[in-house]
Structure 1
Amino acid sequence: MHRRLFLTSMAALVAAGPLRAESFEVTLTEAEWRAKLSKAQFAVLRKADTERVGSSPLNAEHRKGVFSCAGCDLAVYRSEDKFESGTGWPSFTQPIKGAVGTKPDNSLFTTRTEVHCRRCGGHLGHVFDDGPKPTGKRYCMNGVAMNFTAA
């Protein structure tokens, strides 16, 4: 019986056609991304890795300015939305409107919400519902996935 269910499920997947990857404005081959990004940036932005806790200089960045995607330079967060979460990663209450996308992340035996750059699809981090007012959100980002430009 289990074999029949498996075969039926596989037939339905084949009939549905190939899985389609999301398309983004900025698309590069894996080789081009590797050439453009550092090893750490590639691991986070393109392979959804997580930087080591407390390792990003952006965690201690307190100047006025803008945080942008290290993959395509799209402005994704403003300094006035940054807060000290105590997690060891740069955290924000909200992104710049229209700058990021989200999708379910079912890794690590739980469901989280992944945050990615809407222009290049680069993995930035995750968003949680335990942030401060006014949004109640904590956008917990990998610093290596962003650059900072002071205003």
Structure 2
Amino acid sequence: MKAVVQRVSRADVRVDDEVVGQIGRGLLVLLAVERGDGDAQRHLMARKVARLRIFPDENGKMNLSVKEIGGEILVISQFTLAADMKKGYRPSFGGAEEPQRANEQYEIFCQELIDIEGVPVARGRFAADMQVSLINDGPVTIPLSFPPNNAA
């Protein structure tokens, strides 16, 4: 499972000029589910995202999580993060999970952020052509990766 986490002042996602998800201060998470990802990777990712200490404390030090600042998370499914660029110039997406299972893992991931971590979550629309707008605060961008159990 891979994610790119961006600290944002605000973010929204549109499908066909309709806003389908938006947040104020918090995190924009681009999430890729890879073949072989399961409960272990999903739990680790949700916990890590919710508890990342990348918001400034009273001294300006990155020491607070999205939970601690009362922020929100916008989660966008993005299979292109699973791209393999080992050969040539055209990405291969053979490592991305098949769509139905990826959508299930994406939805469970979002629900875990809400139910287990207690963070409000907005979503994109799975497999849609989306336009994402954000104000990256900092800028702060953190890549995260938890390989599947069957990864070499």
Q: Classify the TM-score, shorter chain.
A: under 0.3
Which is richer in helix? 1
Pair member with larger Rg: 1
Tell me which of the two structures has the higher relative contact order, counting C-alpha pairs closer than 8 angstroms and 6 or more residues apart: 2
- How does the TM-score come out when normalised to structure 1? 0.25
- How does the TM-score come out when normalised to structure 2? 0.25
